[in-house]
Every structure is written in C-alpha cells, then in structure tokens.
Structure 1
C-alpha cells in the first residue's frame, strides 16, 4: 500500500470517527428546580397542568429504550389526562394537540416518534405565538428528545432558546444540531444552525467565532443551493464587519446579501436599512439618503421609525438644512412615544452626530442631557466616549460662537 493511499484511509477513519461526536445539550436552566416549571408559570389552571403532564409524559417516554416502553404508564393515566383536558379553556387547537400526545400514555410501545415530535413542535409554535417562550422551548426540546438524531428538531430548540435569551442553552443545542446535520447529511439544518450560532456569538461579542460560523454556513449554502439562507449568513457577516469597523467589507457583504435574497423578499428592507446605516457611517450620505427615505414609510414601530429619522437627519445635516431639522424634530418627538424606546440609545447617539455635523450645538446638548438613555449608552464604552466628546464639542462650540 502506497503512502498516499494509507494517508487517505487514515484521514477517512478520522473523519468517520468525528462524524459521531455529537455534543450533548443543556436540558434545563440552573434555576429550574422542577423540570418544565416555566410551563406552570406561564399558564393557569387545568391548562397549565395538562401542558406540564404532556411535557413530562413525552420526556419520560423518550428517555426509555423502545423495547422497554410497554407498560410504562399506569392503566388509569390516560383517563386522568383526558379528564384534565376538559379544563383547557375552550382552545380547540391546543386540546387537539394534547389529545394526540395522550397516545404516548395510551400506547407507549407503538407511538410513532416522528408523529410525537411533530405534535410537540406544533405545541411549541402555539406557545411561541402567545409569548410563552418557556413552554415553547420545553415542547421543542421534548420533540427533539423524541427523535434524537433529527438535526432540524435540535436546531429549533436552539433558535427558540436564543429568542428566549437563554444563550448557553441555545449554544449547546445549536452545536448539537450542526453535528447531527453533518452526520445525517441534513445540510439545511447544518447551515441554519451555523447562521444562528454566528448570530449568538455576535451577541456575546466573540467576533472570531461568529465569523467562522457565518463562513461555514455560507459555504454550505453555496454548495447545496440554499440561496436565501446564504443571504442570511452574508447579512450576519455584514453586521459583524460593521461591529469591528471593517466598513468596506461590511458594505460589500450587505450588497451580496441583497442580491442573494432577491427582489421582493421580506428581509430585503432590513438589509437595505443596515446598508444605509453603513453608508452613513462611511459618510456616503448621497447614497444613504434615498434608501432611507424609501424605507421610512414602512417603519411603523416608533422605535424603528425614530432611528431611521435620526439617520436621515445625519445624512441630510450637511446637504439639506430643512430636511435635517424636520427629521431631527420628528425623531426626537418619537423618543417619548409608547414603543419609542426600543432603540433609544442608538437613536440618541445618531441624533447627536447629526446635530454635531450641522453645528447645531443646542441640539447636541439636548441629546447629552437625556438621562434615561445615558445609562444604556454608558454600557457601551465606545458610544459613551463618543457622546462625551460630542457634549464637550457642543459646549466649546456654544461658548466660542461656532456656527454654520
């Protein structure tokens, strides 16, 4: 056997062994003294009890080997579950799902794992739509445990955990999903999990890990033709490059993401807005202004709209005084509206930049005097330094009579 052939066989053996190394995942939070207790916190009465028992039934059933499931539950268990379901508050959708899960109690030896997982996923979606994220994660996890080799189910747990703000739990499930996806050749779940991991690491301020995850996702998507998922990875890379000050790369990846999504995709406005923000940061105000003006009518949430108006004010500050003043005043007024504080610290900093560019020292002073948002800005060292610099510039400009 030649040396090259032995090397190829050795590499194949190492690859085969790595394929089976799927890391375990966190199943409960550190403060979760009773498994699934968030279900009891998020619901009331018989509905809470029915959901919790269904979750526990599936979790217990999934933990027992197939050949030992017969006789797992007491003969009277099904009757008690059905009796409890009568108090579900008239919600026909959840009652139907819980009745389907009761099959696990009735016939544990013959219950189909894929059907059980699909029903758990439906309960998870029902709970997430009502803001009950603890319930949503619990049932997504129960569904993933029912089909332990399913990468898409594991990825769903990770995405919901991240949405719930449980980042350590989300990380373990997403890393498990990438391993399962690679093992089973479910490349969509593999790439989707890496996109979510990249976003998670960006939230945790780990840029190198985040970049690696986005790059792996983009490569897998390009290889297997997942164009829109590749766009999400490119968008993530754009935001990451913007975080690290690599504005040229950030703009290039944002434009690539827009092309990958294609015209009419619902996420294109979000990427366009990020692109416009990058153009403002790079002082390409001529390019940013028409994009922002085109996007403004669709920005209905007060916090989002105020931030867009602040960017318009910044882009117009040195070009169109009237547009600057109108946009600045509108953004300022929205800060005190219900829902206007969603991006208040970012909006305030952008308003200060706009006013400084326009040499409008009174408005710079107004932004630095808002105490409510200053606490959030203070948590960002770079933003805090910039706001302090702008406040000092305003004081100096006002005292020395700097004007337009």
Structure 2
C-alpha cells in the first residue's frame, strides 16, 4: 500500500461516527435491542453493553452523552470475566472489549476493532445477523481509517437488501481508500457500488461505476480485481440486452482469470444465463446440467436449479423440469436463500408455462410476484405480473418458446468451451 495521502479531494470526514446507526433505528426500536433477542440471555446484556460503550467511545463523550466511569467499567469487566457457560468465541472478544474500555486512556483502537470483528464472526456462525451487523459497524467506526472495514459494513447491508445504507458505507470505503492510497480497495468499493446499481436496475450508472473500477484495476495492474470487474460488466450487458458486448466481456474475463481460476465456473454459469436470454434453451440446458453438481452453496445451487427449470420447460424436457422444480422448492422452503425466492420462482414459473403446466406456473408466479413486492424488485415484479396475465394463452406461449429461432451468437459456444475447462482436473470448481 502506498503512503497515506495527507492531501486529497476526498478527505476523511472529521466525524466518522456519522456513518454508524443513529440512536433510534428506522423501525423505532431502541439501538442494539436485537442483541437481547439473538444472544443467549445469560450474556446478552454484557454484549449489549460492549456495543453501547464501544460506540460511545468512538463518538466521544460530547456526542454520545456517556461518561466513562472507571469504577463502573471495572465492575462491568469483572462481571464479564466471571460469567460462566458462554461460548468462548463470544466471551473472549467481549472480555477484550471490556478490558480496553475500562482503560480508555490506553485503549488501542485496532485491538478494539479486531475484538468487534470477532464478535461479528461469532454472530454470523450463530445466525445472529442483526448482532453481526452492529458489531461490523462498531469495528468500522472504532478504526475509521480502515477502508476495508467500511466495505465489510456495506457488503453486510447489501446482503440484507438495505441498499441505501450499503451505498453509504461503500462510498465511505471509497473515500477512505482514496485518502489512504489503497488502490485495490478503491476499485473494490466502486465495483461494489456498481453492482448495487445493477441490482437496482440502473444499468447505465452500474456500467459507469464498473468502467471506473476497471480503469483503476488495469492502471494499477490488479489482475484479479480487473478480471472480476470484466465479469460484472458482462452481467450488465446481459441485462441490458447487449449480447455481442456481453460475449466480448466474457472472453476478456476468461483471459484475465486464467483457466485455473475458481471463478471460471461462475463465468460459465453466467454464459448459460446469456444463452437462455438469447433463446438457446437446449444448448443452455446442456451446460447447466454439467454445472448441476459444481456448486456447494445454496445460493448458486438454487440459481442453477431454477435456470435448469426455465430452460428445460422451454426445451420441452418435462422430466428434467420436474427434477429441477423439486430441488428448487426444497431450497426455497428451507429459508436459506430468501433473497432469491422471487427470481427463482419466476424462472420456474416461466419453465412451467413452456410445458403447459398451468398449476405449476400459477403457484410459482404468484410467489414470485409476492416476493418481488416484498423485496422491492421491480423488474421481477413486472415480469411475474406479465407472465400471469398471459397464462390463458399458455399453449401459444409454449409453442413460441420452443420454436423461437436460434440467435447467431457465441454464448452457448463459449459456455460449452468453458465447461470443459471447469471439468478438467486443474480447472476451477468454486463459486465466486
């Protein structure tokens, strides 16, 4: 990393705490009460106190209104140390936080921040996602010059579909990265901002941000970062219907990754996605079936199964559709991929229309519509409503889907080529 920049057009804000939660969060609950709901009751108040005092220290006594009473803090530290029967992965970092805050004059911000991250790690493992988010933010405000911590907060909010807060933290990550001369983090933060714009349907803004991230990565010879930007530009082009440009970015991403990179599998999957957009369902289905067992995480597995359902329905393969339908709903009903239930249900509904399975189609499309409304996914909502409106013509739609003329593009050809690389002994096989 280059030396810290003392002059910058994007100076570090004088009050980093401004990016943390306010005292009252939007739903009206008291700040931090989710901890009491998620953490074992025997230790919940100690964890709540650790968060409260950490945020107060970062804000300062004038902003927080909290004075650091050494005697009371010493008693609190003793209570933490004497607590029994608590998972050590939670107890130990809270004990470190208590120890640091008890001696604020000697407090080491980096040590306090690392302890907050350790609590976050415990919370993620315990499915205490609200607690994890709070301690991620605590880590970031305690160590305000660390751009990566701000990026972690942005990513955490993005995964909860809170795009406004995600953008706030990601823009902060970018500003801090500029201030500290961290080029890789600059590119990563801008890349993440571009992805949020893409998910929100603002494809032009997404493209501009991704091109900016790519220029930084290329200029600084950050090959891994540049490859991932090219991959995301490929996706933007798919959604904007620029298929020739999408294929060009796919080939550039493949060259930048190299054949042994684990993201080649994800790139091949996205090429199959492009092939379905182009109406090449049979070719896409061949590739998707090869990818069926390549992913282990529920997110990617559901994406593959749902797309297989869509392609199989359009290709008239009822047996493969039924298999994909069963596997997809097992994942959706398992509630581990809640953020995908609208998109996945839409794909399955479209596949059912292709086969004339009216009951299947109505079931999936109604769920897709309701989930899209809840998640704020406007494009998915419109597509689900449109498909429901056309169900009375499902036979004509099925014939049109199966007989759609093949588009003369290279997506299916590239996907078939890359799947050979994925399946080779030295090929990549992990999700991005």
Counterpart mapping for 1:337-376 below 5 A:
337=330, 339=332, 346=343, 349-350=346-347, 360=355, 362-363=356-357, 366-368=360-362, 372-373=366-367, 375-376=369-370
1:128 aligns with 2:124: yes
**CA separation of 1:376 and 1:394: change in aligned 2, threshold 3 A:** farther
Alignment match, 2:383:
382
Q: Is the 8 A contact 2:291 2:304 kept in 1?
A: no
Q: Is the 8 A contact 2:188 2:213 kept in 1?
A: yes
Alignment match, 1:106:
102
157, 160, 164: which one aligns with 2:156 = 160
What is the alpha-carbon distance in structure 2 between the residues aligned to residue 52 and residue 397 of structure 1? 56
1:331 aligns with 2:324: yes
Q: Secondary structure at the match of 1:109?
A: helix
The C-alpha deviation readout for 1:73-95, integer Å capped at 9, x for no partner, is: 32242232331454463311222
Deviation at 1:190, TM superposition (A): 1.5
1:224 aligns with 2:220: yes
Q: Is the 8 A contact 1:27 1:169 kept in 2?
A: no
Alignment gaps of 5+ in structure 2: 1-5, 62-66, 374-380, 404-432
What is the alpha-carbon distance in structure 1 between the residues aligned to residue 121 and residue 397 of structure 2? 56
Deviation at 1:253, TM superposition (A): 2.4
Q: How many residues align?
A: 371
**CA separation of 1:108 and 1:333: change in aligned 2, threshold 3 A:** closer
Counterpart mapping for 1:128-147 below 5 A:
128-147=124-143
Alignment match, 1:18:
9
Alignment match, 2:306:
307
What is the alpha-carbon distance in structure 1 between the residues aligned to residue 170 and residue 159 of structure 2? 13
Deviation at 1:332, TM superposition (A): 3.2
23, 26, 48: which one aligns with 1:30 = 26
Which structure has more RCO (C-alpha within 8 Å, separation ≥ 6)?
2
Alignment match, 1:7:
none
**CA separation of 1:237 and 1:198: change in aligned 2, threshold 3 A:** same
What is the alpha-carbon distance in structure 2 between the residues aligned to residue 225 and residue 307 of structure 1? 37
Deviation at 1:169, TM superposition (A): 1.5
The C-alpha deviation readout for 1:354-383, integer Å capped at 9, x for no partner, is: 5776xx5x4367524656436348852134
Q: Is the 8 A contact 2:210 2:233 kept in 1?
A: yes
Alignment gaps of 5+ in structure 1: 1-14, 66-70
Deviation at 1:223, TM superposition (A): 2.0
What is the alpha-carbon distance in structure 1 between the residues aligned to residue 142 and residue 363 of structure 2? 55
What is the alpha-carbon distance in structure 2 between the residues aligned to residue 298 and residue 397 of structure 1? 30
1:240 aligns with 2:236: yes
Deviation at 1:16, TM superposition (A): 5.0
What is the alpha-carbon distance in structure 1 between the residues aligned to residue 71 and residue 135 of structure 2? 24
Deviation at 1:249, TM superposition (A): 2.3
Alignment match, 2:113:
117
Q: Normalized against structure 2, the TM-score is what?
A: 0.74
Deviation at 1:262, TM superposition (A): 3.3
**CA separation of 1:212 and 1:131: change in aligned 2, threshold 3 A:** farther
The C-alpha deviation readout for 1:51-102, integer Å capped at 9, x for no partner, is: 111112221222239xxxxx93322422323314544633112221112112
Deviates more, 1:92-101 or 1:277-286: 277-286
Alignment match, 1:205:
201
Alignment match, 1:188:
184
Alignment match, 1:4:
none
What is the alpha-carbon distance in structure 1 between the residues aligned to residue 97 and residue 118 of structure 2? 11
Q: Is the 8 A contact 1:58 1:146 kept in 2?
A: yes
The C-alpha deviation readout for 1:130-154, integer Å capped at 9, x for no partner, is: 2222211211211111122221121
Q: Is the 8 A contact 1:303 1:344 kept in 2?
A: no
**CA separation of 1:336 and 1:64: change in aligned 2, threshold 3 A:** closer
Larger Rg: 1
What is the alpha-carbon distance in structure 2 between the residues aligned to residue 178 and residue 326 of structure 1? 49
Q: Is the 8 A contact 1:151 1:189 kept in 2?
A: yes
